[in-house]
C-alpha cells in the first residue's frame, strides 16, 4: 500500500507570515495537532504543533497573536513522497521520532500528511505466522509507536518548543 | 498483569488553583504532555494537556498567566485502580477514547498514571502465551482511541469564537 492511499488530503497549512493565533485557529477548526508551514510555492519550510504553541506561550509570556509562526516552528522537516510505501513512512516516523509526516508529490509540492494514527488505524494483526493483510502488521506499528514514545534525551530540556529558548 | 505493574508511579501533577503558565512550566520541565489536576487531599479532579493549554490561549486571546487551569482542563475524567487488569484498562480506554488514565488508590489518592503507550511498549509480553490479550483487541482499542475527537467536547468550546486576528 502506498502513502497516497492513506494520507489526509487536502492538508491544512499555515505560512511563515501567520501569527500563532492563526495557527491555533487552523488546528482548532481542523481538529489537528500539527500543521505544515509552507512558502509561496507550496513547499514545506517547517512544521508547527499545538505543543510548540503551548511552549512558546509559556517561554515568552505573550498572547498568541503577539508571536509569529516563523519564530516558533521547527525547521527540521522530515517528508516522504506520495508514491512511497507505508513502510517508508513508518521508517521516517521511527528514526525521526515524529508522529506526522508531510507528503510531497514528484515536484516537491505538499499534497497531504500521514500520521501515526493513520497507520495504527489501518494496521492489521498478523493472521498466522508471516501473513500480513496490507503490509503493516500490528506488531510493527506497536514497535514504531514505542520508538516514537521513548523519552527524549536532551540534557533535561524537552525537544518540543521549536526555536524558543528556555526562559 | 495488573495496572500497578505497568503504571508510572511518580507523576507530575498540578493543583486546581494553578495558572496555565505554571502548568506549561511543569510540562516543559518534566517533558510531558498531560497532567492530572489535584484538588484537596491529592484527589485528581481533572486532566489538562498541552493541547488544552494551546487552545485555551487561542480561545481566550490572553497570556497563560491570566488563565486558570480549571477553565481549560477536562473535568469528566475516568480512572482505574492499581489492582485492575490490563484488559479492563483497555476496555476503559476504548470505550472512553482516552489515551491516559489516572490510577486512584486508597483514600482516592493519585497512585500513578497509565497510558496506552505503557501498554503498547509491553505489547510483546502481553501477547505472550500466558496473557489472553488478543492482537485483534489491541488493534480495535488503538483504532478507537486514536479516532479523531469531536472538538466541541473541549471545555472552552462553548465560548464565543475569538475574533480573527490579522497577521502582524
The CB density around residue B166, as the number of other CB atoms within 10 Å, is 10
A123: confidence class by pLDDT, cuts 50, 70, 90:
low
Predicted pLDDT at A165: 38
Q: Which long-range contacts (CB under 8 A, 24 or more apart) does A139-142 make?
A: A139/B123, A139/B124, A139/B127, A139/B135, A140/A90, A141/A90, A141/A116, A141/B142, A142/B120, A142/B123, A142/B124, A142/B138
| Stronger pLDDT, B10 or A132, i.e. the higher one | B10
Q: Which residues of A touch B59 (CB under 8 A)?
A: 28
- Helix (H/G/I), strand (E/B), else coil: A136: coil
Q: What is the mean pLDDT of chain B?
A: 80
A120: confidence class by pLDDT, cuts 50, 70, 90:
confident
Q: Which helix (H) or strand (E) holds A53?
A: helix A50-60
What is the torsional sign of CA A6, A8, A9, A13?
negative
Q: Which residues of B touch A66 (CB under 8 A)?
A: 168
Predicted pLDDT at B131: 47
Residue B2: DSSP 8-state = B
Q: Indicate the number of domains in chain A.
A: 1
**Cβ pair A43, A122 in contact under 8 A:** no
**Across the interface, which of A145, A156, A159 has its CB nearest the CB of B117?**
A145
Whether A58 and B24 lie within 8 Å, measured CB to CB: yes
| Residue A50 within a domain | yes
Give me the sheet containing B44-49, strands edge to edge: B14-15, B34-38, B44-49
The C-alpha angle B8, B31, B14, rounded to 5 degrees, equals 70
Q: CB pairs below 8 Å between A and B: how many?
A: 129
Range of the domain at A116: 3-151
**Across the interface, which of A31, A66, A138 has its CB nearest the CB of B139?**
A138
Grid cell, residue A114, equals 500521514
Q: What is the pTM of this model?
A: 0.78
Predicted pLDDT at B160: 45
| Residue A164 within a domain | no
The C-alpha angle A4, A6, A12, rounded to 5 degrees, equals 80
**Residue B83: closest CA among B111, B109, B107:** B111
**Across the interface, which of A18, A24, A145 has its CB nearest the CB of B120?**
A145
Whether A53 and B54 lie within 8 Å, measured CB to CB: yes
| Residue A61 within a domain | yes
Whether B168 and A65 lie within 8 Å, measured CB to CB: yes
| Stronger pLDDT, A46 or A148, i.e. the higher one | A46
Q: Which residue of A has its CA nearest to B125?
A: A139
Distances (CA, A) of A10 to A1, A108, B6, B18, B67: 19, 15, 39, 39, 34
pLDDT of residue B6 exceeding 60, the answer is yes
B167: confidence class by pLDDT, cuts 50, 70, 90:
very low
Predicted pLDDT at B145: 61
pLDDT > 70: what percent of chain A?
Answer: 72
For the segment A93-105, the average pLDDT, to the nearest whole number, is: 89
| Residue A160 within a domain | no
Q: What is the CATH number of the domain that holds A37?
A: 3.10.580.10
For the segment A46-64, the average pLDDT, to the nearest whole number, is: 96
pLDDT > 70: what percent of chain B?
Answer: 71
Neighbour-count burial of B61, counting CB atoms closer than 10 A to its CB (0-12 exposed, 13-18 middle, 19+ buried): middle
Question: pLDDT tens for residues B66-85?
Answer: 999 999 999 988 999 999 99
Least confident of A25-39, A115-129, B111-125: A115-129
Predicted pLDDT at A160: 36
Which range of A39-43, B32-36, B52-56 scores highest in mean pLDDT? It is B52-56
Surface of B (65-84) touching A: CB under 8 A:
65
pLDDT of residue A132 exceeding 50, the answer is no
Predicted pLDDT at A117: 77
Q: Which of A8, A21, A156 to mutate to test the interface with B (most CBs of B within 10 A)?
A: A21
Q: Phi first, then psi: what are they for A80, rounded to 5°?
A: -135, 170
> Is residue B54 within 8 angstroms of chain A, CB to CB?
yes
| Residue A167 within a domain | no
| Residue A166 within a domain | no
| Stronger pLDDT, A50 or B1, i.e. the higher one | A50
ipTM over 0.85: no
pLDDT of residue A53 exceeding 80, the answer is yes
Least confident of A43-52, A120-129, B36-45: A120-129
| Residue A163 within a domain | no
| Residue A72 within a domain | yes
Question: CA–CA separation, A126 vs A129, rounded Å?
Answer: 7
Amino acid at each position: 500500500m502506498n502513502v497516497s492511499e492513506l494520507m489526509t488530503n487536502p492538508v491544512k497549512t499555515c505560512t511563515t507570515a501567520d501569527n500563532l493565533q492563526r495557527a491555533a485557529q487552523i488546528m482548532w477548526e481542523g481538529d489537528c495537532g500539527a500543521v505544515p508551514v509552507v512558502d509561496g510555492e507550496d513547499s514545506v519550510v517547517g512544521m508547527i504543533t499545538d505543543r510548540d504553541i503551548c511552549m512558546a506561550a509559556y517561554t515568552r509570556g505573550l498572547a498568541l497573536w503577539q508571536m509569529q509562526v516563523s519564530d516558533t516552528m521547527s525547521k527540521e522537516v522530515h517528508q516522504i513522497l506520495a508514491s512511497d510505501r507505508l513502510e517508508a513512512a513508518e521508517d521516517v516516523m521511527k528514526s525521526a521520532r515524529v508522529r506526522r509526516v508531510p507528503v510531497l508529490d514528484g515536484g516537491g509540492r505538499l499534497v497531504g500528511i500521514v500520521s501515526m494514527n493513520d497507520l495504527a488505524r489501518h494496521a492489521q494483526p498478523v493472521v498466522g505466522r508471516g501473513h500480513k493483510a496490507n503490509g503493516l502488521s500490528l506488531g510493527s506499528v506497536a514497535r514504531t509507536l514505542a520508538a516514537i514514545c521513548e523519552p527524549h534525551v536532551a540534557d533535561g530540556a524537552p525537544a518540543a518548543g521549536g526555536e524558543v529558548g528556555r526562559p | 498483569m495488573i495496572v500497578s505493574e505497568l503504571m508510572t508511579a511518580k507523576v507530575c501533577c498540578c493543583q486546581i488553583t494553578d495558572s496555565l503558565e505554571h502548568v506549561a512550566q511543569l510540562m516543559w520541565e518534566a517533558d510531558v504532555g498531560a497532567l492530572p489536576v489535584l484538588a484537596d487531599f491529592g484527589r485528581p479532579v481533572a486532566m489538562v494537556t498541552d493541547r488544552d493549554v494551546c487552545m485555551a490561549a487561542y480561545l481566550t486571546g490572553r497570556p497563560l498567566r491570566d488563565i486558570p487551569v480549571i477553565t481549560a482542563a477536562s473535568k469528566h475524567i475516568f480512572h482505574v485502580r492499581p489492582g485492575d487488569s490490563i484488559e479492563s484498562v483497555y476496555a476503559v480506554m476504548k470505550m472512553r477514547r482516552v489515551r491516559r488514565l489516572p490510577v486512584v488508590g486508597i483514600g482516592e489518592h493519585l497512585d500513578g498514571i497509565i497510558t496506552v503507550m505503557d501498554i503498547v511498549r509491553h505489547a510483546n509480553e502481553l501477547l505472550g502465551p500466558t496473557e489472553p490479550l488478543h492482537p485483534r483487541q489491541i488493534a480495535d482499542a488503538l483504532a478507537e482511541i486514536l479516532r479523531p475527537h469531536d472538538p466541541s467536547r473541549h471545555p472552552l468550546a462553548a465560548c464565543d469564537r475569538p475574533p480573527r486576528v490579522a497577521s502582524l
